[in-house]
Amino acid sequence: MKAFALFGDALLHPALWHLNRRSTAGGVAAGLFCGLIPGPLQMVAAGIAAVVFRFNLPVALATTLYSNPFTIVPLYLLAYHYGALVLGATAGHEAPLPPDWSLAHPLASARAYGRWIVDLGAPLGFGLLLLATTLAAAGYVLVRVLWSIHLRRAWRARKRRRLQRDAVGSA
């Protein structure tokens, strides 16, 4: 495919395809950050970030799926409140409720959602950046910590097996 030709040999880098502590944690962070980008650009941005920073590409792409038609409104409301809190815009300002979605009129509903997002303004924009950064940092740290816990348990189990094998062999 010609679209992949733009990346040349960059898509062949082993870090994009191997699961290790760094590339997996980075892929999760990239996916969590890019998952809040509006529209269909989430996976494109996560893919570019994975290639540029040499993170696990499938993990980065899959992680963007936390933001979907069922979660996007609560995530954007959370981002709005996060941004309003940090900007100090919470005094007397309540976030406008999202419009109702009409299956009979999807284009009109999409336009209404677009107007709703624009009406949320600076608290939403700043909140999205803050929330994306917070989720990415938390995801990165969580994967690194869980991976370390897993490795320590595996090392202990291997040591136990080796001690048991040595005890049986010397008896």
Structural domain boundaries, residue 132: 2-170
Number of domains the chain contains: 1
pLDDT in tens, 8-48: 677 777 788 989 999 999 999 999 999 999 878 999 999 99
Determine the residue type at 114. Answer: G
Secondary structure (3-state) at 50: helix
Contact between 30 and 63 under an 8 Å Cβ cutoff? The reply is: yes
pLDDT in tens, 62-116: 999 999 889 988 998 899 889 988 888 765 566 667 777 777 888 887 888 778 7
Q: Report residue 38 as tokens.
A: 């509006």
Closest CA to 50 of 36, 33, 32, 30: 30
Contact between 33 and 132 under an 8 Å Cβ cutoff? The reply is: yes
Q: Which residue has the tokens 């980075």?
A: 26
The residues, any chain, with a CB within 8 Å of residue 9's CB and separated by 6 or more, are none
CA distance 146 to 17: 20
User: What is the reported pTM?
Assistant: 0.76
The residues, any chain, with a CB within 8 Å of residue 121's CB and separated by 6 or more, are none
pLDDT in tens, 136-156: 999 999 999 999 999 999 999
